[in-house]
Structure 1
C-alpha cells in the first residue's frame, strides 16, 4: 500500500491518500441483495440492515467490534493506515482511499447546542435493533456504533475521560458507507463515549474510497486541459483589451487547485 500526504492550498495537512493494490476482497465489507445489506468481517456478520421504502431510512441489527490508541491527526493517520493494512478485519480493498480528519459531520452542530447533546443525537440508537432515519438526518451526519456504546461509568470510558481533559484523546476511526449513508465506528467506541461525557468535540479520522487511479488520471488530464484553455483565453483578452483584463492564473488558479484537491479526496460509493 502506498501512502501519500494530501495538503490544502496553503500547504497544511488535509489527509492521507491510500493506494491499495493486490487486495481484491476486503475482510470487512458490505454485501447487498435488493434492499438488504450485510456488513461482515472475516465472514462473520457484524451488521444486518434493510432499506425501508420509499428510501427514507434503514433498519439495522448489530453484532460487535473495537480497540484503542493517542496523538496528532497526521501521526494517527499513519498509525491507523498500518492498522487498516495489517488487520485481518479491515474494510480496505484494492483501489484508492482517503484517511482524513475533514469529515462533514464536524460542521453540523448548532452554536446553542452543547457537544454532548450534538454527538448524542448523532449516534444511531438501538441494541440489537434500530433504524437509520434518512429523512430526519441528511448529509451523512449519523454515526452507527458496531457494538453497544459503553456508559460513562465504564472503566475504559473513565480512563479516556482523563485523556479528554488533558487534550490527548486518540481519534475515533469512522468508515463512511454509502449504502447506509452514515458512518460506522471502526475503532473508538469508548473514546467517543468519553468525549460525549466530557461534552467536547471528539477527534476524528474518517476513511472512505476515492477515485480509482485511471479515473483520477483522466480527471486531472481534463482539469489541466480546461485550465490551459482558460489561461489562453485570458491571455488573448489581455492582448486585445490590455491590463484591464484580470490575470488568468490569479482568476482561475484557485478554482483549478480546488478541483485537483476534490479529485484526490472526493468520496466514492462503497463497494458491495
Structure 2
C-alpha cells in the first residue's frame, strides 16, 4: 500500500491517501442481497441490515462478533502522540493495511482528521450531549433513521459502548482530561449513511463521560485511479478553456479585462482537492446465495427471532 499526505492549498494537513493494490475482497466486507445488507468480518456476521421499503432508514441487527484489528494504544504512546493526528494516522494506516479484519480493498482511500459530520449543532450543546445524540441507539437491534437524520452521518458502534464505570473507560477518562486521548477510528458506509466505529468504543465513551471533543480519524473510499485521471484531465481542460475565453475578451477589449486566472485558478484547486478528499459510495459484493442466504444467516444470528418484522 502506498501512502501520501493530502494537504490544502495553504499547506494544512488533511489526511493520508491510501492506495491499496492486490486486495480484491476485504476482511471486513459489505455484502448485498436486494435491499438487504450483511457486514461480515472474516466470515463472521457482524451486522445485518434491511433498507426500509420507503427508504426512510435501515433496520439493523448487531451481533457480538466484531473484533477490532487495532491493538489498544499504550498510555506512553498516547502521551507521545497527543495532539498529532498525522502521526496517529500513520499508525492506524499500518493496521488498516496489514490486518486481515480491515475494510480496505483495492482502490484509493482517505484516512482523514477533518470533521465530515453535517449535522447542525446547537452552540449551547455540550460535547457530551452532542456526541450522545450522534450515536445510533439499539442493541441488538435498532433503526438508522434517514427521515429525521438525513445527511447527519450518525455514528453506529459495532458493539455496545462500555459503561462510564468500566475499567478501560476510567483509564481513558484520565487521558481525555489530560488531552492525550487517542483518536476514535471511523469508517463511513454509504449503504447505511452513517459511520461505523472500527476502533475506540471505550475512548468515545470516555470522551462523552468527560464531555470533551473526541479526536477522530475516519476512513472512506475515494475515486478509483482511472476515474481520477479522467476527472483531473477534465478539470484541467475546463481551466484552460476559461483562460482561453478571457484571452479572447482581452484581445477585443484590451488589457483592462483580467486574464481569468484569479477566478479559474482557485476553482481548479477546489476541484482537484475534492477529487482527493470527497467520499465515494462504499463498495458491496453480491452475497452468495442471495436473499435466501441472508435470511438463513439472519435466523442463525437472531436465534430464530422474527426480525425484521416487515
TM-score by length of 2: 0.85
Q: Relative to structure 1, is the Cα distance of residues 223 and 236 closer, same or farther in structure 2, using a 3 angstrom cutoff?
A: same
Unmatched tracts of structure 2, length 5 or more: 285-310
Q: Does 1:188 align with 2:200?
A: yes
Moved runs in structure 1, 4+ residues, more than 6 A? none
Q: Relative to structure 1, is the Cα distance of residues 107 and 134 closer, same or farther in structure 2, using a 3 angstrom cutoff?
A: closer
Deviations 1:185-206 (A, max 9, x none): 0000011111111111111111
Deviations 1:211-268 (A, max 9, x none): 0000000000010011011112112222332343233111211111000000111111
Kindly state the Cα deviation for residue 159 of structure 1 after the two structures are TM-superposed.
0.7
Kindly state the Cα deviation for residue 168 of structure 1 after the two structures are TM-superposed.
1.1
Q: Whole-Å Cα distance in 1 between the matches of residues 232 and 181 of structure 2?
A: 37
Larger Rg: 2
What is the aligned counterpart of 1:197 among 209, 220, 238? 209
What secondary structure does 1:124 align onto? coil
Which runs of structure 2 are paired with 1:16-55 in the superposition (5 Å)? 16-55=16-55
1:248 equivalent in structure 2: 260
Q: Does 1:110 align with 2:112?
A: no
Q: Whole-Å Cα distance in 1 between the matches of residues 17 and 201 of structure 2?
A: 25
Alignment RMSD: 1.3
Kindly state the Cα deviation for residue 109 of structure 1 after the two structures are TM-superposed.
2.2
What is the aligned counterpart of 2:101 among 89, 95, 120? 89
2:67 equivalent in structure 1: 65
Q: Whole-Å Cα distance in 2 between the matches of residues 106 and 211 of structure 1?
A: 21
1:109/1:115 contact within 8 Å kept = no
What secondary structure does 2:6 align onto? strand
Q: Whole-Å Cα distance in 2 between the matches of residues 122 and 168 of structure 1?
A: 23
Q: Whole-Å Cα distance in 2 between the matches of residues 169 and 235 of structure 1?
A: 54
Which runs of structure 2 are paired with 1:216-255 in the superposition (5 Å)? 216-255=228-267
What is the aligned counterpart of 2:226 among 198, 214, 230? 214
What secondary structure does 1:217 align onto? helix
1:174/1:184 contact within 8 Å kept = yes
Number of paired residues? Answer: 272
TM-score by length of 1: 0.96
